[in-house]
Amino acid sequence: MSTKTDAPKSAARERREHFETSSGIPLPTDFNPSNTEALDYDRDLGDPGDFPYTRGVRRNLYRGRLWTMRQYAGYATAEESNARYKFLLSQGTTGLSVAFDLPTQIGLDSDDPLAAGEVGKVGVAIDSLEDMERLFEGIPLGEVSTSMTINATAATLLCLYVAVAKKQGVTPDKLQGTIQNDILKEYIARGTYIYPPAPSLRLVTDTFAYCAEEVPNWNTISISGYHIREAGSTAVQEVAFTLADAIAYVEAALGAGLKVDEFAPRLSFFFNAHNNLLEEVAKFRAARRLWARLMRERFHARDPRSQMLRFHTQTAGSTLTAQQPEVNVVRTTVQALAAVLGGTQSLHTNAMDEALSLPTEAAARLALRTQQVVAHESGVADTVDPLAGSYAVEHLTNEVDRLALDYIQKIDAMGGMLRAIELGYVQREIQEAAYRYQRAVESEDAVVVGVNRFRADTETPVPVLRIDPSVERAQVERVRALRQRRDAEKTEVALTLLEDAARSDDNLLPRILTCVEALATVGEISHRLRRVWGEYREAVTV
């Protein structure tokens, strides 16, 4: 492979007058107390495991236990995804992470006309309890931790998981894992919502209350900055808008009568790991510190677990390139390193071929190996917060903290995150950041290796995973056959009781669990709630 080096432009870096991070934080030539603020180490740093947790939520961090290596996977049928999970477990992954297809995410059954062409494409198709049983066949749910990236239908998928565990003989109190369940970021950045915000928030808080009683070791929400960043935000905006979403969830739970220390210890977060290594490390540290202060000072949380920001990280899908995809391995390694240096609790590393397709088995294994090399060969896991005290990292931590708090205060002044979303403020801020970055790429102020610089004359093709079109036909036949053989009267009674509960103030999770155990489908459950709440239509913002 020959490569275009674009040598005449190599002096552009030297001609730049100003250097700054992706969030626009100015970067001096070097960092030291003469050109940045002096650090008060007793005040600003403290110890790992101590408030405000800038240096991490555990005293020994990875010296006690490595982060969970949780490779995100799911495609086609439940059987094929099950085989991929077993493969990843055999290769050393330490937690499962389920990707669902688009119809499942927006509450459509596989035979719905609107689902045509999307079944099994970006994740696994799950229509019923039988599909969920096939997905976890041979995997003991009492022994693994499972994360499910699902939002609008999160309550239903959690109930499906609980029902499968019960059939395995595992009681709900033994289950460990996370549902994303972060509906606000769907209105901001991703779009897989179903219902208007108010009833959607009710499902979130019903899940908080149900799990506090029935599934106490489950993380009831993973408040996601990941998709905000994928939509084009800066690192500062990722922290600010994620924590503003989290404030809205806490306020909603308090408004529903829950006490902060009853649900806050099970809140978790989900962040993006991007390319700017030092800014990303600072971002994670600043997010922890800012959340700890918010929980103690604003919400008067007293349980230290309520003040700890625990987070999963995924490397940045938006940085992957279809050009020279093997270079994505390098990007992912830098991003994984940032997550670990920043103190993540679990990590997914993207595969090099994901700009082209869902990952092949070989690419998924290499992505996992990337984590394992960082964990076992790099030495960065042997010391807690090894970059603490770096003038650059501490300055950037302070700046991300300060600028993110400025955003949160602006959102507070608007009336909170729901109002800011309704006004289109958050969406516009992200759109403008994305536009600025795209302009920088086009002008080559931002270099993307293999895209606008260092291009290759020829590309070495890489294998890609293809989803057989017969998968959709088989799944459609499967869900239709289920409806024919189930006890239709039992299913209808369960769905009617759910619809009645949606018109009341009753917690909906027990009703949803009854529905899934009566073999009601994801689409049928979502449709009954649509009858009561309607569907959300996004206002156009410019």
Q: Each residue of 471-519: pLDDT tens digit? A: 999 999 999 999 999 999 999 999 999 999 999 999 999 999 999 999 9
Sign of CA dihedral 398, 402, 407, 409: positive
Specify if 107 maps to a domain: yes
> Mean pLDDT of residues grouped by 10 in the chain (542 residues)?
51 66 89 65 75 96 95 92 95 94 98 97 96 97 96 98 98 96 95 95 96 96 97 98 98 96 96 98 97 98 98 97 97 98 97 94 96 98 95 93 97 97 95 96 94 91 90 96 98 98 97 98 98 88 53
Q: Each residue of 27-67: pLDDT tens digit? A: 888 887 766 565 554 456 789 999 999 999 999 999 999 99
pTM of structure: 0.93
So what's the pLDDT on residue 98? 96
**Separation of alpha carbons 298 and 519, rounded Å:** 44
Specify if 176 maps to a domain: yes
Specify if 260 maps to a domain: yes
Specify if 528 maps to a domain: no
What crossing angle do the helices spanning 277-293 and 391-414 adopt, rounded to 10°? Answer: 50
So what's the pLDDT on residue 1? 47
CA proximity to 541, closest of 453, 454, 423, 461: 423
**Separation of alpha carbons 46 and 50, rounded Å:** 7
Specify if 542 maps to a domain: no
Structural domain span for residue 410: 57-443
Beta bridge partner(s), residue 96 = 71, 146
Domain count for the chain: 1
Say which CATH number the domain at 303 has: 3.20.20.240
Specify if 34 maps to a domain: no
Specify if 505 maps to a domain: no
**Separation of alpha carbons 153 and 131, rounded Å:** 15
Specify if 84 maps to a domain: yes
User: Around Cβ 168, how many Cβ atoms within 10 Å?
Assistant: 14
SS3 content of the chain, % helix, strand, coil (to 5): 50, 10, 40
